[in-house]
Each structure stands twice: as structure tokens, then as C-alpha cells.
Chain A
Amino acid sequence: MLETRSKISTALYWGFVWGCGLAVLAFMIGPILLALLMSFNSGTTLRFPPEGFSLRWYEMLFDPIASEPIHTAAKNSIEVALSTVAVVTLITAPAAWALARAPKRFAGSVEPVLLAPLVLPSLVYALAALLALSLLGLGPSFLAVLIGHAAVFAPLMFRTVLGLAQRMNPALEEASATLGASRARTFLRISLPGILPGIFAGAFLVFMQSIDNVSVTLFLGDPGRTMLPLRLFAMLEESLDGRVAAVSGVLILAAALLLVTLQRFGGRDAR
């Protein structure tokens, strides 16, 4: 009797773990696969199930005339994202490296300030930044979006670099200095290679977030220069044509590439 009950309980356990576990896994990844599937749809509307296989939406998306607004928006977004990555790298990498070596009390009191944007809703920040701009008598601009993105996404790179810098063996740098290497040489040969994977991983994260961000871009951006996420959301709300699916396909590919890169650079040490 007791034996049967424990057998049933064990069976239930494995049923729950495998059955529900795999179902949740499917729930999590399913929508992404669906978006991908829809992008190869040959029908005129985004009806499910898709009517047939075609690359027409991709052709239309890459057509320079028909999709001119999307291309311009993408160009604007990539410009902002690349500039953001540059600014973030310049201020963040040295800071993370320095704080990993700073006295514990100093680092401990500064880190929360530098990581705060991670938990603060970017909508609230966007509002605050727009308020500051208007009090200064300035309007929305490219520079405003750039600074806003840099402030909100800098912690992403700060975290990846700090993680690596903290795990680096300080003895390596000391040894290099004792052996007569100059500071610059020590930095280039020892410190930089140590934190470079963190910089790369952080740069990818910042780039993707900047391309994807809506609230900061919406509040601080010049309305005359449409950015990609705003353009896409406008399409999503108005027409829902197949090009949204095709853009999704392109962005999923980007995310997959990002994932592979992160695994190669960041994942090695995280595991």
C-alpha cells in the first residue's frame, strides 16, 4: 500500500518535471519561432497558419524604394547604437577596471549609483531627462538620445567588465610591473586582454538594447528622425504587414548571433 503510494508519487514527480517543464520551455521559445515562421509566409495577411513559403516579405523589406522609411529609421538607430557603444566603452571600461582595484569601501559605495539604471524604469528616466532638457531650453536631438542611451545602458557593460576585472589575478599585473614593463605596456599586454571579453559582451548588449529601446528614444528623439523601434511599433499598430515579420526574422538572427558571441566571450568565465 505504502509502496504503491510512493510509486505514484514518484511517477507524478517525473511527469510534472518533464511534462510541465518541457511545456514551459515550449511556451517560452514558441512565440519567437512563430514570429520566424510568419516571416516566410506567402499570404498577404498575417493569418495563422501561414499560407505557404515565400521570401516576398524579405524581398520587400530589402527593397530600397518600397521600404525607404524603414531603412532610414534603421540607419538612424544603428548610428545612435554605435555612438552609444563608443561612449559607454570609453567611460565604463576604465571605471570597472579601476573599481575592481579600488578600496572595498569606495567601490561598495559607488557601485549602487553606477548600477541604478538597471532597476529604474527607463520610462521614468526618459521623463526626467526630457524635463531637464526643457528646463535647459534645449529640444529633443540626436545628442540627447545618445546621452540618454549611454546613461541607461552603461551598467550593462559595467557589469560584464567588472565581473572579469574582479576575477583577474592582481599578481599578474604586479609581476609585469616588477619585471620592468611600463604601465602602458602592462595595461596593453595584461589588463586589456583580461577585460576585453567583458567589453565585447557588454558592447553587444548595449548595442541591442539601444536598437530596441522605445521610451528614451521616444521622449528624447527628434521627431523628424524616426528610429527603428518607433517605426516598427507604428507599423505594428497600423498595418501589421508582413514586413514586421521579416524585420522580426532579421532581429531574431541578430539575437541568436549575440547569444553565440556571449557564450564564446562571456560564458566561458561565467560557467
Chain B
Amino acid sequence: MIRKETLLSWPMIAFMVLFFISPLLLLAGISLRGEDGSWGLGNFAAFLSDPFARGVLTGTLALGAKVTCFVSLAALPLVMLYWHAGKRLRGLILICTLLPMLTANVVRTFAWVVLLGRNGPISQTLLGLGLTERPFSLLFSETGLIIALVQIELPLLLLPVFAVLNRADRKTLEAAEVLGAGRWRAWFSAIFPQIIPAVLAGWVLVFASATTSYVTQSVIGGARLIYLPQFVYREVGVLFQWPMAAAISILLLASTGVIMLGLTMLARHERLQGHA
């Protein structure tokens, strides 16, 4: 009977293998094809030996690292607030976290185009306070892009952490406080270890999403800031260099994949699991 029931899963498995997995294998295959029709790692070597291309790769990974770092810093106080909050405030925080995530990409990007622009509130406020002499624009700068990406990706880190906190036991913290640990120490020694696996899982999502957010990168970063997704798009859309584009995509996947795998393995590490 059980065997019969697994039959129902085969249409989806077939669909995903046929329409998801096989195109990717094809992409991996063609990345190995050289201009002269030979097979090998030539495309990868060509990409990595080009200083400009190498700069794009390291710039993309650095962008991912910076966004992940700032997302974590911003998330910390909100996570602590969520931990202390009562049922109502927790509900409100959850809604404020989910709403940006469910809002269309266009809306979030549009909002940041207005916010970061010359006539936007940031520039106007600093002008009004006399902190700057001329209105300025943070659009088309890496600073602006990072600010926008942090806001866009924050929910990806917060949600898994909130899920853990919902299940966590308040008594641990109270016990730590009774034992005389100060507020700070109680939080960092009793609660923080419990959320580490969720934080690592969140980092994976934030990093992957920040390095590949083609739309936000191109609208807010502008044409001068080039990251791997735009680079890939240019190879295919403008230059029709399929094998090269394929090689870059595989590099993008591999470099984010290695980092994600490392974080996932860290999250599964026994010592961390022991605390959770």
C-alpha cells in the first residue's frame, strides 16, 4: 500500500528532473566547451585570468558578505526585542517582518529609489539639518545598494530565528538571571546559543539572495556597479557567449555553494547541536 502511494510523487519528481535538473546539467556541460569546440576548463581559466572579471567575482562575494554582516547587526536588537515581547508585540513584529518579504520586488526597489534619490527624505533631512551643503543621491552607489539589500533581506534571517524563539523556553533565561548573571550575560549565555543554528541557516539565505539579486543590483546599483548576475546577463544578452556565461554561472553557484555548504555544515556541527 505504501509503495502504491509513492506513485503519486512520481509526476512531480519527473517534472523537476526533466525541467529543473536537466537544464542545469546542460548548463554545466556547456560551460566546459571551448570556443574551438574542444572540451575542458578553458572558460573558467579565461574568466579567472581576466583581472576585471576576477574583480567582479570578488566584488560580488564581498557584497554578499557585507550585506550578511549588516543584516546580522540589524537583526540582533530586534531578535532580543522579540524574545522579551509579549504575545501582541510578537504578532506585530511578525507582521512587520512578513509584509516586506511578501511585497513585490518592484515595490521594495521603487521605495528605495525614492528614499535614496536626490529629492528623497535621506538627502533632504541631512540638508535640512545642515549636515550637507548640497542634496546628494545614494543611488548608483554601493552604500545605497547595501542599505536597500539589508532591508530587503532582513526577514530571511529573522524568520528562522523567530521560529526557534517561539519554541524556546523562557525558564532558561529566568534561571540564568536568578543565578546572578546580568541581563546581557543572561541573554548571550542562555538564549544566544539556542539560535545559532537558525542564524547560520538565515545567513545561507541572505548571502545567496544578496549575491544574486539581479534586479535590485541593477536598478539601485546602476550600470557602473557590475556584479556577477549582470556580467552573466551581458555575456548572453549582448555578446551571445553561451559557454562563457555558463561557466560564470557555474562559478557563481560554486562560490556561493561552497560558502553555503560550509555554513550548513557548521550549523550541523555536533557542539552547536548540543546547545540547541
Contacts and interface: CB of A to CB of B under 8 A. Distances in A.
B22 to A, nearest CB: 7
A121 B212 contact: yes
B208 interface: yes
A30 B257 CA distance: 33
B86 interface: no
Contacts of A240: 113
Main DSSP-derived SS at the B contact region: helix
A54 interface: no
B52 interface: no
Contacts of B124: 48-49
A183 B121 CA distance: 62
B253 A121 contact: yes
A196 interface: no
A95 B77 contact: no
Given A16-B77, A123-B232, A248-B111, A151 B106 contact: no
Interface residues of A, number: 90
B198 interface: no
Contacts of A31: 100, 108, 111-112, 115, 151
Interface residues of B, number: 84
Contacts of B108: 31-32
B119 A48 contact: yes
Contacts of B45: none
Contact of B182 (A9, A123, A151): A9
A251 B107 contact: yes
Nearest to A132: B23
Contacts of B242: 131
Contacts of A65: none
A69 interface: no
A121 B208 contact: yes
A192 interface: no
Interface string B78-106: 10111010000000010111111011111
A17 B246 contact: no
B9 A131 contact: no
A248 B102 CA distance: 12
Interface in B207-258: 208, 211-212, 214-215, 219, 229, 232-233, 236, 242, 245-246, 249, 252-253, 256
A130 B80 contact: no
Contact of A110 (B13, B99, B111): B13
Interface string A27-49: 11101101100100000011111
Given A127-B232, A128-B23, A28 B5 contact: no
Contacts of B96: 25, 28-29
B26 interface: yes
Contact of A22 (B81, B112, B229): B81
A248 B154 CA distance: 20
A60 B155 CA distance: 33
Chain A contact residues: over half helix, strand or loop, or mixed? helix
Interface in B14-41: 15-17, 19-24, 26-27, 30
Contacts of B23: 125, 128-129, 131-132
B105 A229 contact: yes
Interface string B174-187: 00000000111001
B151 A229 contact: no
Residue among A20, A31, A237, A259 having the largest count of chain B Cβ atoms under 10 Å? A31
Interface string A101-145: 111001000100110110111111101111110010000000000
B21 A98 contact: no
Contacts of B74: 24, 27
A160 interface: no
B98 A259 contact: yes
B221 to A, nearest CB: 12
Contact of B236 (A47, A127, A212, A245): A127
Contacts of B256: 121
Given A123-B212, A124-B252, 17 more contacts: A9-B183, A17-B81, A18-B81, A21-B77, A21-B80, A28-B155, A32-B103, A34-B121, A35-B114, A113-B16, A116-B16, A129-B23, A154-B16, A233-B106, A233-B109, A245-B110, A252-B103
14 contacts: A10-B183, A16-B77, A23-B77, A31-B111, A35-B111, A102-B2, A127-B245, A127-B246, A131-B23, A135-B26, A152-B20, A211-B104, A215-B215, A233-B109
Interface of A: 6, 9-10, 13-14, 16-25, 27-29, 31-32, 34-35, 38, 45-49, 90-92, 94-95, 97-99, 101-103, 106, 110, 113-114, 116-117, 119-125, 127-132, 135, 147-148, 150-152, 154, 158, 208, 211-212, 214-215, 229, 232-233, 236-237, 240, 244-245, 247-248, 251-252, 254-256, 258-259, 262, 271
